[in-house]
A and B are shown apart, each in its own frame.
Chain A
């Protein structure tokens, strides 16, 4: 690899995806004739605002058709120091998109000398989704959530997307993936504006628990293997993973409450 150099008319500036294209690799190749049952899909991800920022969570299951293809896939990724992206949809292109997105944010920050605004990051992700539209139309759809702490406005913010790159800012909470209907309802019922981080983590755990209970493609807490959903908070302090211990405890409490009310009476 030699040093890339460009003349003024072809210089890609701080756009990493364009730089990759100019080196001869198309980051979002069109796809044809793919059956949705043959490829791995990621499922439920949720995010909610709390007083000091945003919490994001995603289950760990990936499915191909009616089979579980991975039990410990990660769907919540730190995009940079103060934001994260969670993915649902075709796992291959989704993970690749996240990788490109992370690099784009870092590349921009290094070339320009200052990071993109949160709004700018959200728009970047929208543009990547739009580039992926031809692949999405043939079955490789990716539907992320983007959340982060806006250092300028001093608040947490959430963005939902559709496969065309449409970007929709949500005021309070967001959910994506096959179990999102159930998760969304749980959050809607339990949501309060003044939640602490701990209360928000508990609400998201409950939402994933209910989604996993009703949607076969969503995994809850796998106590047998010690695999728990990934959660992370984003606040003024930056992105921080919630430890498995904390998530595991929340799930154990929820499971206990649930069992107490739902266990069948012995006949």
Chain B
């Protein structure tokens, strides 16, 4: 029997992190930000059927970048978690914070114990009736959780995009203004993104119980 080569834990973690980061950087980015009615989410996504942004529960939305099958698996697990919790207790007991922690556990566990880490970065967003109380939980491939209130950028090139959002973002923007901020930040200076290359969805507190709404490409100009 051969003895496996010794690899220092630091090196092993670094290799895994590099692997995950490379996978994520290959995909396109996504921006979520608070706007006048809740949370506005805009992803660069040429597909109109394979979504990056979706509904988890009444006031909770999900977005993922990186490897599609991996974040889709997380999305479904989140829906199951939320629906089961709402069924067992009550609808108001379903919260983004507990869901984000569960995701962090799962991603952290996979990062340290499985053959390969998940090549994903996800967002769990929640709104309340009160403007300014939006919660954006940004969870990384290794289980790191960060919470934001104004905006968050997921995916490769997130630093440059974040800088562009920071320059144009303001509190309580309209949906149309938020779309322009997101579009310009995602595109950068050398290219333009038209409606068909964007996926847009919102958590809109004016829409009753289920606040999640997806805006089809053709309806973006009516925002």
Contacts and interface: CB of A to CB of B under 8 A. Distances in A.
A19 B84 contact: yes
Contact of B51 (A20, A111, A113): A113
A23 interface: yes
A106 B51 contact: no
A76 B143 CA distance: 45
Contact of A3 (B55, B77, B83, B210): B77
A16 interface: yes
Interface in B38-79: 51, 54-56, 76-79
B103 interface: yes
B80 interface: yes
A188 interface: no
Interface residues of A, number: 18
Nearest to B103: A3
A110 B79 contact: yes
B110 to A, nearest CB: 10
Contact of B80 (A19, A99, A106, A113): A19
B106 interface: yes
A110 B103 contact: no
Contact of A23 (B77, B78, B84, B98): B84
B87 A103 contact: yes
Nearest to A109: B55
A263 B79 CA distance: 59
B83 A107 contact: yes
Contacts of A19: 80, 83-84
Nearest to B89: A1
B105 interface: yes
Contact of B83 (A2, A5, A106): A106
A119 B210 CA distance: 23
A106 B82 CA distance: 12
B97 interface: no
A83 to B, nearest CB: 15
A2 B102 contact: yes
Q: Which of B76, B77, B105, B210: most chain A Cβ within 10 A?
A: B76
B87 A5 contact: no
B81 interface: yes
Interface string A95-109: 000011001001100
Secondary structure of the A side of the interface? helix
A4 interface: yes
A46 to B, nearest CB: 27
Contacts of B77: 3-5
Interface string B109-151: 0000000000000000000000000000000000000000000
A110 B76 CA distance: 8
Contacts of A99: 87
B102 A103 contact: no
B62 to A, nearest CB: 10
B85 interface: yes
A1 B83 contact: no
A96 to B, nearest CB: 10
B54 A113 contact: yes
Q: Which of B51, B83, B210: most chain A Cβ within 10 A?
A: B83
Nearest to B56: A110
B68 to A, nearest CB: 13
Interface in B152-210: 210
Given A20-B87, A99-B87, A111-B76, A4 B81 contact: yes
Contacts of A3: 77-78, 80-81, 102-103, 105-106
6 contacts: A3-B77, A3-B78, A4-B77, A4-B84, A16-B87, A19-B84
In the A-B complex, list the 5 residue pairs whose CB atoms are closest, starting with the nearest: A3-B77, A3-B102, A4-B80, A110-B79, A107-B83
Interface of B: 51, 54-56, 76-81, 83-88, 98, 102-103, 105-106, 210
Interface of A: 1-5, 16, 19-20, 23, 25, 99-100, 103, 106-107, 110-111, 113
